[in-house]
Amino acid sequence: MAGSTHASDDAPRLTPEQRAEVDTLRAECTSTRRATVAALEEILYEPLPVLDHGLVRVIDYMGDDAAVVQAARVSYGRGTRRQRDDQGLINYLMRNWHTSPFEMCEIKLHVKLPIFVARQWIRHRTANVNEYSARYSILDNEFYIPDAANIAVQSSTNRQGRGETLGAQQARRVQAILREDAERAYANYDALLNEGPDGAPRDPSYDGVARELARMNLSLNFYTQWYWKTDLHNLMHFVRLRADAHAQYEIRVYADILSDVMARWVPMTHRAFVNYRQGGAQLSQQSLEAVRRMLAGEKLTAKAAGMSPGEWRELQALLAGGAQQIGGGVPEPEGDA
């Protein structure tokens, strides 16, 4: 059912045409001299379920860990280096924020996601994107309804975050409102189109409006789809920001899937990424000086350290293992989507 809050992983997330395409592609076997990654080949084309109707599919990729190493050494082939040496070089590149060697690898994904998630995602602009056109085609009646566990009040400390989870009764009311709004919006969309499966008017007494106009009233929880191609460096940037605990849940679950894909594709790079970027920390000069003073035995307060209450709170959380970076959560790239 459209908008179901507990769709199973075997729910029909692909259209019959898409499923047939997947089966055809996976049945093919091609020979190549290019690098391939067995772990990624296992899931190539297959839908990885996200949220109630969403998915991520790996469509194509170029390069592997060896491509990163090759670019860094400006040499040919894999050479005679041992894997341990390759991991050490990748660690060095990651630790020192080198970027161009990681840009040598690319990946192309098919993503099905709610429109409001897409509007956050598209802020990561260093990518090639082709989205489903609602000017040309008719959108499916599929919309996202959050699980009760993910319905919460506005955070009192973070203007773009959630606070305490609502009680079960209130959460059900929110779900009912969201579902009712989406169902009404789609019914009106369908009426405005006045178009049957064969393209003929459902009601011959009036003309339907253009698809580009009929779509305007649809709510942001309806699903869209796109093909998204990016390089490994920018994929890591996406995952670092969007898999962070401060990121909105609905995009974080997509970032978690992409992190798993990256672990299959470039395991050495992923290990370095988790160690130095995702699990590491970035300190301001002021925060670093405060840490040095505390290590020297000085009892510091926010005022004594010359830090704002927010900065001090973030530093304490970081030292306690509760944050990944100093700076008040995850900034939106060039915007506030």
SS (H, E, C) 136-184: CCCCCCCECCCCHHHCEEECCCCCCCEEEECCHHHHHHHHHHHHHHHHH
Position with higher pLDDT, 296 vs 158: 296
Residue 1 domain-assigned? no
Domain count along the chain: 2
Instruction: Supply the pLDDT for residue 110.
Output: 97
**107 and 70 belong to one structural domain:** yes
Place of tokens 């401060």: 246
Residue 264 pLDDT greater than 80, yes or no: yes
- How far is it between the farthest Cα atoms of the chain? 83
Residue 192 domain-assigned? no
Distance CA 324, CA 56 (A): 26
- State the first-to-last Cα distance of the chain, in angstroms, to the nearest integer: 29
Average pLDDT, whole number, for the chain?
Answer: 86
**290 and 275 belong to one structural domain:** no
Residue 241 pLDDT greater than 70, yes or no: yes
Please say whether the beta carbons of 324 and 245 come within 8 A: yes
Instruction: Supply the pLDDT for residue 49.
Output: 95
**243 and 333 belong to one structural domain:** no
Confidence of residue 81 (pLDDT cuts 50, 70, 90): low
The distance from CA 6 to its chain's CA centroid, rounded to whole angstroms, is 20
Instruction: Supply the pLDDT for residue 127.
Output: 93
Distance CA 64, CA 267 (A): 9
The catalytic residue among 179, 242, 252, 277 is 242
Position with higher pLDDT, 151 vs 323: 151
> Which secondary-structure segment (H or E) carries 225?
strand 223-231
**39 and 117 belong to one structural domain:** yes
Closest CA to 311 of 333, 288, 331, 332: 288
Instruction: Supply the pLDDT for residue 75.
Output: 54
**133 and 242 belong to one structural domain:** yes
CATH number at residue 84: 3.30.1360.170
Residue 186 domain-assigned? no
**243 and 295 belong to one structural domain:** no
Residue 324 pLDDT greater than 60, yes or no: no
Residue 245 pLDDT greater than 90, yes or no: no
Instruction: Supply the pLDDT for residue 141.
Output: 93
| Token pair of 46 as six digits | 């297959």
- Among 280, 311, 329, identify where a domain stops: 280
Instruction: Supply the pLDDT for residue 13.
Output: 80
Residue 51 pLDDT greater than 90, yes or no: yes
**335 and 240 belong to one structural domain:** no
Position with higher pLDDT, 202 vs 3: 202
- Mean pLDDT for 291-299 is 91
C-alpha radius of gyration, the chain, whole number: 24
Q: What percent of the chain lies above the pLDDT cut of 70?
A: 86
Residue 168 domain-assigned? no
Residue 79 domain-assigned? yes
Instruction: Supply the pLDDT for residue 157.
Output: 66
User: Looking at residue 278, what DSSP letter applies?
Assistant: I
Query: Is 242 known to be catalytic?
Result: yes
Instruction: Supply the pLDDT for residue 330.
Output: 46
φ, ψ at 6 (rounded to 5°):
-135, 55
- Buried b or exposed e, range 97-121, using 16+ CB within 10 angstroms: ebeebbbbbbbbbbbbbbbbbbebb
Residue 87 domain-assigned? yes
Q: Which amino acid is at 79?
A: G
- Mean pLDDT for 201-223 is 90
Full domain range(s) for residue 297? 285-337
**21 and 78 belong to one structural domain:** yes
Sign of CA dihedral 178, 184, 188, 190: positive
